[in-house]
């Protein structure tokens, strides 16, 4: 691997795993992704809360009432079991599948960072694929804000504090933690568009002679990004913000659609937004 410890970190968003038309899991996408995974890949998967909501609705005929944040944690707890079951169903049975639930504290505490890194780096040699998700069932926005505030008040540089607001940030932080060669962010679009919603304006490459220039060009592209795919999502601009740290670390980043294979995206056969030094 040379200067890189891991071949690939990938992430798939909730909306890519859900069939909106039928209000169901998109089994085709989940199966397609799962069959491409192998030891040496670290996978970050959203979808637990949305899948849990769908499952609860199907079983009870209604959705949860009350506090939105509490509903999210309850849905996520119900959806986690289903999400992991589906990954296990489709991933090559020769490989182990390991669920890893993380929170911001696992990146902001040096001892926990080291434990998480060691766990992830043991997986390839043991023939296992880690599936990472944010630990929504045991987290709340209020508690996270208090913990983040305590970190900054303790003297930790605010720019270094990891929030893990969503799994795009989680994937980017994992990519930095293990220093991966490539990071793929799967989303519900083909990549980053110069004009929101217009596939013909897909930005196929963001590059530069060094990491500083690439990040400058990423910042310029962020000015074009507006909107998000769902309530609570941070949109394309946030994705571009999160991937700056892996890019600075030497990681090649792809923002792409899960309709295409990982191999085709990396080879440039499939449309995507590729972000790299070169």
**Confidence tier at 224 by pLDDT (50, 70, 90):** confident
CA distances from 52 to 23, 24, 56, 79 (A): 12, 10, 6, 4
Q: Is the CB of residue 97 less than 8 Å from the CB of residue 91?
A: yes
Could you list the beta-strand ranges (E) of 135-194: 180-186
Q: How far, in Å, CA of 171 to CA of 241, rounded? A: 12
| pLDDT per residue as tens digits for the range 111-168 | 999 999 999 999 999 999 999 998 876 665 655 555 556 656 676 665 566 666 688 9
Q: What is the DSSP letter of 202?
A: B
**180 phi and psi, to 5 degrees?**
-90, 155
Percent of the chain whose pLDDT exceeds 70: 86
Q: Is the CB of residue 42 less than 8 Å from the CB of residue 12?
A: no
CA atoms within 13 A on the CB side of 147: 17
Question: Which structure tokens are listed for 159?
Answer: 């720019």
- Rounded to an integer, the average pLDDT of 51-61 is 96
Residue 40 Rama label (left phi>0; alpha psi -120 to 50; beta): left
Give pLDDT, residue 278: 87
CA distances from 38 to 16, 102, 148, 171 (A): 20, 21, 35, 17
Architecture of domain 6-277: 3-Layer(aba) Sandwich (3.40)
Q: How far, in Å, CA of 237 to CA of 243, rounded? A: 10
The H-or-E segment that residue 147 falls in is helix 141-153
| pLDDT per residue as tens digits for the range 103-126 | 888 888 889 999 999 999 999 999
- Count Cβ atoms within 10 A of the Cβ of residue 57 and give its class: 0-12 exposed, 13-18 middle, 19 or more buried: middle
Domain spans in the chain, listed from the N-terminal domain onward:
6-277
Question: Which structure tokens are listed for 275?
Answer: 């972000």
Give pLDDT, residue 139: 64
- Rounded to an integer, the average pLDDT of 201-223 is 96
Q: How far, in Å, CA of 172 to CA of 44, rounded? A: 10
**Confidence tier at 71 by pLDDT (50, 70, 90):** very high
Helix 167-178 vs helix 110-122: crossing angle, to nearest 10 = 80
Question: Which structure tokens are listed for 169?
Answer: 């940030």
């Amino acid at each position: 691997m040379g200067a890189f410890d891991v071949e690939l970190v990938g992430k798939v968003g909730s909306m890519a795993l859900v069939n909106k038309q039928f209000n169901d899991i998109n089994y085709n996408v989940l199966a397609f992704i799962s069959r491409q995974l192998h030891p040496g890949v670290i996978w970050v998967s959203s979808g637990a809360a949305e899948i849990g909501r769908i499952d609860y609705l199907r079983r009870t005929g209604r959705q949860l009432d009350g506090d939105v944040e509490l509903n999210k944690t309850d849905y996520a707890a119900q959806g986690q079991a289903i999400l992991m079951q589906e990954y296990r169903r489709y991933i090559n049975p020769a490989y182990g599948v390991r669920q890893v639930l993380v929170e911001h504290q696992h990146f902001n505490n040096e001892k926990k960072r080291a434990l998480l890194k060691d766990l992830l780096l043991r997986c390839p040699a043991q023939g296992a694929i880690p599936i990472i998700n944010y630990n929504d069932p045991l987290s709340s926005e209020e508690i996270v804000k208090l913990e983040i505030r305590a970190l900054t008040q303790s003297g930790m540089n605010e720019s270094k504090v990891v929030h893990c607001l969503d799994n795009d940030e989680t994937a980017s932080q994992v990519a930095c933690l293990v220093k991966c060669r490539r990071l793929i962010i799967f989303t519900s679009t083909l990549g980053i568009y110069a004009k929101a919603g217009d596939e013909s304006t897909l930005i196929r490459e963001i590059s530069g002679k060094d990491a500083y220039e690439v990040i400058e060009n990423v910042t310029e592209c962020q000015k074009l990004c507006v909107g998000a795919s769902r309530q609570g999502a941070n949109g394309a601009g946030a994705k571009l913000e999160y991937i700056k740290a892996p890019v600075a670390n030497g990681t090649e980043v792809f923002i792409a659609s899960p309709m295409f294979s990982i191999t085709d995206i990396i080879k440039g056969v499939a449309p995507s937004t590729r972000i790299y030094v070169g």
